[in-house]
Amino acid sequence: MKGNNSLFSKVASPKYKFKLNIQSFAKMPKTKAQIEHILADRPGHLKNKITSSLILERISSDEKNFVGIDSYGNKRYVKMIGKRQYWVSTRNDIIQNGGVNIVPRNRDELYDRNGGKRKWQILNLAYL
């Protein structure tokens, strides 16, 4: 199996030893209330469509989009597509929130629920 996209990659012995690349994939929650919280027709969010769920799942499954862990323990993912900034917040491999910013935000413009600035452990500044 060749290429970086294969599930297995060779290590040490070229014939029998393989390294399994395991990555967790966040999924949409199962409850209607949680889905309606994430997918809604309001600013900064995506409308409740199947494609919206797929977009959020795909962004959170790519480790290149991972930007850090916030003070609540949520993993944060950000991806620029065109001039739009798509964002996803996950916890325990379940998507907690996500959406799109028409005007991209940096980490200093993101706030917690109480209106105070959120503390970040930034690991990748590529999109911030």
Torsion of CA 20, 78, 123, 5, to 10 degrees: 20
Q: Inform me whether the pLDDT recorded for 30 exceeds 90.
A: yes
Cβ neighbors of 18 (< 8 A, separation 6 or more) are: 8, 9, 10, 11
Q: Is the pLDDT score of 52 beyond 90? A: yes
Would you kindly state where each structural domain of the chain is located, as residue ranges?
A: 25-122
- The model's pLDDT over 89-127, given as tens digits with 9 standing for 90+, comes to 999 999 999 999 888 877 655 544 444 555 544 444 444
List Cα–Cα distances, 32 to 13, 36, 37, 39, 96, in angstroms. 49, 6, 9, 10, 13
- Higher-scoring residue by pLDDT: 70, 126: 70
Closest alpha carbon to 70 in 38, 96, 39: 96
pLDDT reported for residue 68: 84
Tokens of 13: 């012995």
Of residues 5 and 80, more confidence is placed in 80
Q: Does residue 84 carry a pLDDT above 80?
A: yes
